[in-house]
Amino acid sequence: MTYSVAVAGASGYAGGEVLRLMAGHPELEVRSVTAHSKAGESLIEVHPHLRSLAALEFVETTAARLAGHDVVVLALPHGASGAIAAQLSPDTLVLDCGADHRLTSESDWGRYYGGDYYGAWAYGLPELLHADGTRQREKLRGARRIAVPGCNVTAVSLGVAPGIQSGVIEGHDVTAVLAVGASGAGRTLRTDLLASELLGSAAAYAVGGVHRHIPEILQNLRLAGAADPTISFTPVLVPMARGILATVTARLTPGADTASVREAWESAYAAEPFVYVLPASQFPASASTIGANTAVIGLAVDDDAQRLVMVVALDNLVKGTAGAALQSLNLALDLPETLGLPVNGVAP
């Protein structure tokens, strides 16, 4: 069976990556692409790398344009998805790559985003461990409304959750510093994203507990079993187009050691097709995940500080966004979870 697809906000980086992956998915046919300022332009003018979709033209983003498709992907700024999604048929599979339906707490939404709160959907991080040992993928089978996670959230959550669930690390003093590629800011004309500003420089942003991904990370840590988690989260914009390298640390629990730590992560991800735990003393580079729906994790116990160091690499546009959307879509439609998703990256 072939499923018809519409992608809203398809002129942006996230929307373009959704299109790239869907173009190689044997069960999907992209029939409509919408945009705001690019409406009326051909897709190939905006995404010249998507040759197989050259016949498509951007149209205005409205619920009427999206209606009638089996699958709708919303790659819109936060605050723009909720009203449109509410007008779509409950039988349509809708995946929101924005933030509008990720948070279960209305007060968190109000504090970090503001505006109307549209409620939480099934959360699209299949590998996320729950405290009882189950995984988030069970919530995605047959779902018709799916919230795709934030890219930074995916890196931190996949890195930390096995330790919380197994009890080898504490959840109340987690730190995370993330090197993030510029595409994470979207396809926006901003002074700090100009090549002359970005190249040869690294700059922290959203410092001091104000980044909008913080409540989503804490929500996931609670799902993994943390009673009262806290995180000091600092993203750093670095001169690369895409990718995330997250360095996360947490306090070891009494009695935890290198062997118990490694057992927790290796057992958690041994059967996962897209999450890899590296051997001892090896750590990932963001470049090794570019173009792939993979997350790669390296672990080190700092005995003197009694902390665990978790280094996580992923492509913010693939595993961090579009790949998560397709992986969740496959589960929702009862297709093989790995269908159409690459594990091989691009190098150099």
Specify the pairing of strand 3-8 against strand 71-74.
Answer: parallel
How far apart (Å, rounded) are the C-alpha atoms in residues 11 and 87? 22
Q: Is 29 helix (H, G, I), strand (E, B) or coil?
A: strand
* DSSP 8-state symbol, 99: S
Q: Residue 300, by phi and psi: left (phi above 0), alpha (psi -120 to 50) or beta? A: beta
The DSSP element (H or E) to which 300 belongs, if any, is strand 295-302
Q: Is 138 helix (H, G, I), strand (E, B) or coil?
A: helix
Please list, residue by residue across 222-234, b when 16 or more beta carbons sit within 10 angstroms of its beta carbon and e when fewer do.
Answer: bbbbbeebbbebb
The Cα angle at residue 73 between residues 69 and 75, in degrees rounded to 5: 145
Exactly one of 80, 122, 147, 151 is catalytic; which is it? 151
Which strand ranges, in their side-by-side order, compose the sheet holding 203-204? 203-204, 231-237, 174-180, 244-251, 307-314, 295-302, 275-277
Q: Report CA torsion sign: 72, 34, 314, 304.
A: negative
97 is annotated as an active-site residue: no
| Burial degree of 67 (CB within 10 A; 0-12, 13-18, 19+) | middle
The catalytic site residues sit at: 151
